[in-house]
Amino acid sequence: MKRFLSLRKTVGVLAGVGMTALIGGALVSANGAVGGDVSVQPCDPSVQSDCVTVHSPAIYSWVKDQGSAQTDVVGGTFHPVITSTNVPNGFYKVEANGVLDIPAVDPIDDAATVTSQSWACTLFVSTAEGTTAQDQWEMEASGLFDTSFFLKTAANINSSDGFGHFSVSCVNNDLGVWSSASLKIIAVSAGSMIQQAGI
């Protein structure tokens, strides 16, 4: 009796798997892809008519280990810390991050002795037609002079010359000589993303 139930359960599972595979195969054959890009074994379209197109997104990465030294006073101006170059027209998911540091006071990074520092950074997207701010970040570092920024956006580059660039500018709104390090901008091609306003 147990063997019969076990056999029946196995047949039921196999039938379910077979039906899922059959439905999945029909969807791929009819539409070319299920839900956009899918991960499949590569095939030769000249031999097999229902090959699925697999897109590998282009990833652009810019790294700057050490930025130049800056000096700001109260109400200081923003300074560029890292800039990408020659990004082809397209729609991208963009992330940028880095470390902001006041090296002269590193030995006394202590909540008991350090006054607050007001940092801010902005991520810009530039084309031949102009530059727009896409994301902003601000940090009140109440116990430490040093901090890290993180910015991200979905950005469409549609420049008349075919290329644009991303850049990050930062400021220390309190008196200080500061520098930046471990700076990165990563842009991932994301043509299937849709940008919508929040409600």
- Does residue 83 belong to any structural domain of this protein? yes
Cα-to-chain-centroid distance, residue 148: 16
* 100 and 78 share one domain: yes
Average pLDDT over residues 116-120: 79
Average pLDDT over residues 89-100: 93
Q: What is the pLDDT of residue 55?
A: 62
Neighbours of 27 (CB within 10 A): 13
Average pLDDT over residues 145-161: 89
Identity of residue 106: D
* 122 and 77 share one domain: yes
* 50 and 76 share one domain: no
* 120 and 171 share one domain: yes
Domain endpoint, select from 56, 72, 87: 56
Instruction: Give the tokens for residue 92.
Output: 């991208």
Greater confidence (88 vs 17) lies with 88
Look at the block and give the residue holding tokens 């560029």: 80
Q: What is the pLDDT of residue 193?
A: 67
Greater confidence (178 vs 35) lies with 178
* 149 and 163 share one domain: yes
CA 71, CA 76: separation in Å to the nearest integer? 8
Q: How many domains does the chain have?
A: 2
Q: What is the pLDDT of residue 22?
A: 39
pLDDT at 33 over 80: no
* 107 and 155 share one domain: yes
Could you write out the three-class secondary structure of the chain? CHHHHHHHHHHHHHHHHHHHHHHHHHHHHHHCCCCCCCCCCCCCCCCCCCCCCCCCCCEEEEEEEECCCEEECCCCCCEEEEECCCEECEEEEEEEEEEEECHHHHHHCCCCCCCCEEEEEEEEEEECCEEEEEEEEEEEECCCCCEEEEEEEEEEECCCCCEEEEEEEEEECCCEEEEEEEEEEEEEECCCCCCCCCC
pLDDT at 137 over 60: yes
If pLDDT is split at 50, 70 and 90, which confidence band does 175 have? low
- Does residue 176 belong to any structural domain of this protein? yes
pLDDT at 90 over 80: yes
Beta bridge partners, 188, equal 59, 93
Range(s) of the domain holding residue 2: 1-56
Q: What is the pLDDT of residue 109?
A: 52
CA 73, CA 58: separation in Å to the nearest integer? 41
Domain endpoint, select from 56, 82, 103: 56
- Based on C-alpha coordinates, what's the Rg of the chain? 26
CA 28, CA 20: separation in Å to the nearest integer? 12
Neighbours of 88 (CB within 10 A): 13
Average pLDDT over residues 41-64: 75
* 39 and 92 share one domain: no
Q: What is the pLDDT of residue 157?
A: 92
- Does residue 197 belong to any structural domain of this protein? no
Q: What is the pLDDT of residue 1?
A: 47
* 106 and 42 share one domain: no
Q: Check if the beta carbon of residue 198 is closer than 8 Å to that of residue 147.
A: no
Against a cut of 0.75, is the pTM above it? Answer: no
